[in-house]
Structure 1
Amino acid sequence: MAMPDFSPTEYAVPGFVLLVLIEMLWARKMRREAYEPRDTLTSLAFGLGSTVAGLLTGGVFLALFLWAWQFRLFDIGWQWWTWPVCFVLDDLAYYWIHRFGHRVRWFWASHVNHHSSQHYNLSTALRQTWTGFLTLGFAFKLPLVLLGFHPVMIAICGGFNLIYQFWIHTEAIGRMPRWFEAVMNTPSHHRVHHATNPRYLDRNYAGVFIVWDRLFGTFEPECDDERIRYGIVRQLGTFNLLHSVFHEWIAIARDVRAAPWRHKLSYLLREPGWSHDGSRETSGMIRARWEGRRKSVAAENPIAEPREAA
């Protein structure tokens, strides 16, 4: 079978734009606060910059994968059954890339861009990083290359994965059928992922299949009686595009410069919010504090439960 030359995301862009416009019309009647003009423009600028960054660096990574492919263990080929296998394994790799994006500050400096909006709508899906190449997260997909999946096949599967994730960035859809929610990532599951509520921090990393979160202990269902607050723990407080793109890289540089030598590397590789003097809180610390307060309240009053962070 000949090697395909196809980029699914290029064909999906008109559909993305159409769906954003439809959701805007829905928001005007049903939920006006879902869209904020400056926030939406920032998200669109993020998407444009990310596309340019991808054009500048994508070829380098593809060339690296093609070089690594010569060391493959098997010749898997282009048979029809290899595509769904590659898609599932690529999604598993995405889960771990995404999880590292929240648990290692060097990765978070790039991924935080996607979470920086305090609104949750389809334009938020376009809020993609410009600096992903710095994290070298592509290394998580090298095992697929070494197994024998062609880099172009991996790239195409990754494109369809990205397309799937677009539609789950919405509040216009409540719950999907139970069987679907059990297996697939959905708007409900992904709203949890974008929330800053303590119960939701660092949960639901899935790209397409929520089964990875269920399997690896990071799943959290959406709770109907607690309003979701979107964004990041320390909100940006600005729509300045360059600050939004680079603020965490700048913060890392400041921390590394000011830290004692034995702690400098930790400011790169420990979780976001970690500090050598305990002056800040990680997501795990915030969640643990909320859990402790919840258990305390439950012991005093089994019906009540805290719903907001302290």
Structure 2
Amino acid sequence: MLCPNRLHKGDTIGVIAPSGPPDLDKLKQAIPFLKKMGLHVKLGKHIDKVHGYLAGTDEERLEDLHEMIANPEIKAIIFARGGYGMGRIVPDIDFNLIKRNPKIIWGYSDITYLHTAIRKKVGLVTFHGPMLASDIAEEGFDELSASMFEQLFEPKRYGYTEKISALHEIVSGESEGQLVGGNLSLLVSTLGSSYEIDTKGKLLLLEDIGEEPYKIDGMLNQLKFSGKLADAAGIVVGDFAKAEPKLDPSLTMEQVFYDYFNDLSCPVLAGFKIGHCFPHFSVPLGVQAKLSTKDKSLIIEPGVK
């Protein structure tokens, strides 16, 4: 895996919306956060475009992405929000352009599709972390979530322990591998495509929002049938927000997790505040990590050089 160069004060960050349209007022509220870190900000040309539930047409969103990647002054790309639409433009992305201009790419949720595609086509480490309009501008954005951006300025090993949140062992064990994954819905949507998530020998991170237990059940069933769960070296269960069942009766989310993970031969640890939540623990994807149910920890290698 190729790690992007670290940031320095005075660097310029590109901000674009490759999926859904951001709330522009919230975007403006979030930009000072980057400036306080000593960074300059350049907005994508089409950042204010709206095309139904998309932030502009496929061509406009793709153009903004390519321009930010090609611009040597842009040292990192941080997305304004997720939503929907990344998968529509992935087939037209110039991955050779990314390979020639590797830089920090930061976001999550719908951006999971881009993370997965870049890792498969380029081998570049990318970052699963909070975005500007949808997270940083929110009242709940806390000190821990903010501090996670420090990993972009200095290569640093991070550790997640129960000092951050209670962690629940589903399957005991200890294993190491590349940390991959992200939003469950998006990972399932890659199946059968040339951007299909590769979990063999890897630690698989899963998170989602707004999906009831029966829907999570269906998506985990797809991962199971495709061999993705059995292939994994470990499962990191992140946050599943706003997942209250509307069906009555219903299985709980914990029961669903147990049904799909209990018979795996790899460690499975749940309760990580990674996903649509605060605090939001940001992680580099594609780096080596170690998962231990004995220590109840996830140790992650640096994502920049």
Which band: TM-score by shorter chain?
under 0.3
More helix by share: 1
Q: Which of 1 and 2 has greater Rg?
A: 1
Q: TM-score, normalised by structure 2?
A: 0.24
